[in-house]
Each structure stands twice: as C-alpha cells, then as structure tokens.
Amino acid sequence: MCYVVLSASGGIRVQNQNMSTDVVVIVAVIILIGLFCMQHYGTDKVGWLFAPLVLLWFILIGGVGVVNIHKYNSSVLKAYNPVYLFRYFKRGKSEIWTSLGGVMLSITGTEALYADLCHFPVLAIQIAFTLVVFPCLLLAYTGQAAYIIDHKDHVADAFYRSIPGAIYWPAFIIATLAAVVASQATISATYSIIKQALALGCFPRVNIVHTSKKFLGQIYIPDINWVLMILCIAVTAGFKNQSQIGNAYGTAVVIVMLVTTFLMVPVMLLVWKSHWILVVIFLVLSLTVELPYFTACINKVDQGGWVPLVIAITFFIIMYVWHFCTVKRYEFEMHSKVSMAWILGLGPSLGLVRVPGIGFVYTELASGVPHIFSHFITNLPAIHSVVVFVCVKYLPVYTVPVEERFIMKRIGPKNYHMFRCVARYGYKDIHKKDEDFEKMLLDRLLVFVRLESMMDGYSDSEDFTMMEQKGERSTRALLTEKAGSNTMSSIGDMSYSSHDSIMPAKSPLTGNSLTRYSSQTFGDEQEFLNRCKDAGIVHILGNTVVLARRDSGIVKKVAVNYVYAFLRKLCRENSVIFNVPHESLLNVGQIYYI
C-alpha cells in the first residue's frame, strides 16, 4: 500500500526535477490519511466507481505500452522467448540472481485477487485477470522496457517518463486513483483476515462495523484502521525511498506465496481428498517458481525487508498468546460448569436467601450452569428470586427479527424460578437502549411462562395430540421440547393472535375453562415476575482472570500475566458489548491459574 501510493505520488516530481523528495512523501501521507479517514463510510458507497476506474487504468497502461513498443523498439517483443531467460541466467553472476527481487515487484498485487474472493465470484476474477489484467500488464512492462533501451538514464522513473506529454496529467490522476483503489483492496483484505482470526478466537475482541446490507464481507474495524494508518505513515515517512519500501513489499508477498503453498497441501489431502501424486506435482511446480524469488528477496532483508518480518512476528505473538489463554479460560469454564444435579440438590431456595428482584447472569455457555453462578452464591448468602442465564450469540445473517430473537428455557422445577435465554443477533442488529433489551427479554419471559402453562393444560388432551401428529399449521407456533421438568420454547415461533389458533376443534378445554386454567397457573407466576421486576434488575457478568502458575517459566509468566492482561484491557468489555447500565452491573471475579 505504501509502495503503491508513494509510486503514484512520485509523478509530481517528474515534471519538476528540482522538487524535494519530502514533498512527494507529504502528498503520499495526505492521500493515506484521507483514505483511512473514509473507511467508516464503507466501500459500497463508492464501489461502483472502482470497476470503471480500474478498467480505465489498465486500458491506459496497455495503450501506453503499445505506443512505446511501436515508437522506440519493437524488437523488445523477443523477450517473450524463454531462450533469452536461459541466456540471462547462464551468465552466472550474483547480481543476475539478486535482480529477481526487483522482478518480484512486477507480480506483486496478484495476492489481492484472493482477498477479493469475499466480494466477487471466482469466475469473474479469472475472466478479468485473463482477458484484461494480464495482457495489459505485459504490454505496459514491455513498453517500459522499449523506452528504457533508448533512455537508459530514466530507469528510476521510467513509468511516468514513458507517458506521452499530452496525456501526462490525466494519466497521473488516474494512476493516483488506481493506487487508492489498490490500497482499498489491501485494507479490506486486512479487515477480512482480522475478522476470521477473531471468529477463530485467535485475536482480541475488536469492534466490527458492517457497512453494507447486501455483502457480509464489507466491514470496517476502527481499531485496526487507525493502527494500520499509523504503520503506513511511519513506513512511508521513515523510508522516503521507493526502493526500500519495494524490498519490504516484495519480501512480504513472496513469504505469503510460500505460506499459501504449504497450507494448500493439507487442504488438498484432507479436504479435497486429492491423490498424493497431484499434491507432489503441485508442490514441486509452485516451489520451482517461488523458491528462486524467495532466495532473491531474502538477500534484501537488511534493505527494508525486515519491516514485514517484524510486523508478522509481532502479530504472531499477539495471536498465539491470545488464543492460548482464551482456550485455557474456556476449557476452565466448560469443565467447571455446574451440573443440574447440584442445582436440584440445593432445593427451591438454592440453599440461600432468595431476595426480591431479577438477576441476569451473562455467560458464553449455551448449556449448563456457568461456574460464576456457583462462585457467586458461594461467596454471597443471597440470590435473586428470579435468575435468568443470558447467552448472546451473533449469527452470520443481516438481522434477526425481534419475534425470533429470544429462545427461552426453564431450568429446574417451576418453584426454582430459573430460566435460560439465548439472545440471537445479526451483524447489523444494535442494542439501541439498555431498557429496550431488558423490556424485550422480560416480555418474552412472560410469553414463555404463559405458553408453557397453556401447553401443560393441553398435555392430556387426546385431540391436541392427534392434531400435533397430523402436523397442522397452527401448532407450528408452539414448538416445545420436554425433558423431565425442562421446557424449551422458541419465542420466534410463538406468534399467535388468539387462543383459537392453538385449540383443537373438539377440545374439552374450551372458552372459559381455558381461561380459568390459565389464571390459576399463569396468573400467579406472572404476578410474581412483575413484583420481582419492580424490585429491581441486576446484570451479573463473569470476569475470569487468567494468571500463570508460580512455578511457570519467565516466558510464560510474561506472556500470560502481562501480554494477555494488557490485551484484555484493550478489548471491549462484556458490559460494553451487551450495553449493560453501570448502575445495575455486578462483576463476579475469579482467578484461574494455568
């Protein structure tokens, strides 16, 4: 990105050789700052400009290449003959082998094609590369070679000098805009990689903003955006040299190609089930091309190639430490969750004083009672009269309708007043107000209790059983799953307008009998829930602190006690993610030694 923008900005200096290099750097920095500041708008707002702009850019460089070939030296087309490549390397000098590092820059940018797979289908990329990108690049580089043969002193800025003077400034503007588009592809690829690492638990929690309603892959990560901007400005202003930035760029690309090749081997063997002979052929052909470029670029590590290596090592340490400690913490929570037998053994009062109020216990576990609950009631002699375990899950869909957002389940007998709620959100759903979330959850809880009571009333009805077996459409609003005393109901499938929609034609419970039954079972618990709601709502969040054991090595102590702790402080807190009001927030801390 830095190399592309700096190269495009260098065109200002071609028309005025007395201009300082600092001016070019300042222009490049301004372009980078403007590019990163516009990321929060999303690429879908201006994405319709990218395709015609890039197409115009390739037509321009291809046309300039044809003009230069015809004007200066058409014999340069002989370079397509592989014999000349063999003769070039036959000379045997070390400088010839090192020159491959410069040749590497001519194929950089192709790795961005894979980043665009989340925005375009594979066939579209294959057609565009075969019919447009590759031919125009060949013509552009061949035309520059023809120009350099006649102007050997213009090697440093051959691209801009080879452009005819009549179209110089329009070409400069198009080149700058094309550099912005190419940089945007790199930024979008970085966001996609961070999102995938975050989904795998290999990166600290950061805020991901989805900028498009149509495309899931179009995202914006504010924290990564500003870190990336600072790194790009530091590299651009620090080197001030396209050559060193190019070395860093080439080293990064060739390492990416090597890593991709080696990662393709397990994919071909385990996922595609390819024959081992095909795997060997693929590996040999790929390494035959990539290893010579790698050996050429590795000689330039001290000339700027160390930058991507340092950045890669830093991010590797961050991802490894975060993943290791996160996995250990999750294993601790899974192995320490409380069994239902333990809860049932405590009795309706849970062995403590049940104080008025409702307690929302947030947990990442969709099943079982989290360890923070047992830790909480072990250290405090009281618990709320109603306990709801809330698990928030984000689904890879645009939005989850409000009527399908909550899944409710009762834990233990009814007199325990314990429930589980799984709140499902799409990537564009936002908690607008804290009280809205509380109100929706409580409303769904009351609906769940009501429907549960009505289902209990129908449990002995033969007509209802026959209607359920026939699969009448009206019963789809009452999907239940009974296991002992537990009842699972999806609120999203429980939308109904009247009792008639769930009553069989010849049910003995008709009209007033159903009302009397519901008032005896549902009314009391509804009144109880309303009294607890008026008494107050408390949000209980777990805060597991991971520390290294005292007998651990110095490296592990530094990684766990300092690096991981620092990353946890930088992450978004659960209270922020869930939009929990601070006045009703209660953190339950516990220490886990690894």
Instruction: Give 137-173 pLDDT, tens digit per residue.
Output: 899 989 999 999 888 888 877 888 888 888 888 888 8
Q: Could you tell me the CA-to-CA distances from 501 to 459, 463, 494, 497 in Å, in that order?
A: 16, 14, 11, 7
Residue 466 DSSP code: H
Instruction: List alpha helices for 267-339, DSSP H.
Output: 276-298, 306-335
* Calpha distance 98→83 (Å, rounded): 20
pLDDT digits (tens, 9 = 90+) for 361-419: 888 777 777 877 777 777 777 788 888 888 888 777 777 887 788 888 888 788 888 88
Most confident among 198-202, 216-220, 484-488 (mean pLDDT):
198-202
Residue for token digits 């307690």?
359
User: Is pLDDT above 80 for 242?
Assistant: no
Contact yes or no for 395/425 (Cβ under 8 A): yes
User: Is pLDDT above 60 for 478?
Assistant: no
Residue type, 377: I
Given this model, what pLDDT does residue 285 score?
Answer: 92
pLDDT digits (tens, 9 = 90+) for 73-89: 888 888 888 888 888 87
pLDDT: which is higher, 435 or 325? 325
Cβ within 8 Å of residue 370, ≥6 positions away:
333, 337, 338, 361, 363, 389, 542
Instruction: List b or e across 468-506, with b for residues whose CB sees 16 or more CB atoms inside 10 angstroms.
Output: beeeeeebeebebeeeeeebebbbbebebeeeeebbbee
Maximum distance among all Cα pairs of the chain, rounded to whole angstroms: 102
End-to-end CA distance of the chain: 41
Residue 76 CA, chain-centre distance (Å), reads: 46
Residue 589 DSSP code: E
User: Is pLDDT above 90 for 42?
Assistant: no
Contact yes or no for 403/419 (Cβ under 8 A): no
Contact yes or no for 22/265 (Cβ under 8 A): no
Given this model, what pLDDT does residue 283 score?
Answer: 92
**pLDDT-derived band at 110, boundaries 50, 70, 90:** low
pLDDT digits (tens, 9 = 90+) for 289-305: 888 888 877 777 877 77
Given this model, what pLDDT does residue 520 score?
Answer: 41
Given this model, what pLDDT does residue 531 score?
Answer: 86
Cβ within 8 Å of residue 457, ≥6 positions away:
509, 514, 517, 518, 521
- Residue 352 dihedral angles phi and psi, to the nearest 5°: -135, 180
Given this model, what pLDDT does residue 306 score?
Answer: 85
Residue for token digits 């520390």?
547
* Calpha distance 8→12 (Å, rounded): 9
**pLDDT-derived band at 573, boundaries 50, 70, 90:** low
Minimum mean pLDDT range among 418-427, 481-490, 523-532, 582-591: 481-490
Given this model, what pLDDT does residue 516 score?
Answer: 36
pLDDT digits (tens, 9 = 90+) for 450-471: 888 777 655 443 333 333 333 3
Structure tokens, 225 = 């955006």
Beta strand extents in 395-532 (DSSP E only): 406-411, 418-425, 480-483, 486-490
Burial bucket for residue 388 (CB in 10 Å: 0-12, 13-18, 19+):
buried
Mean pLDDT of 18-33: 82
| CA angle in degrees (0–180, nearest 5) for 95-98-102 | 115
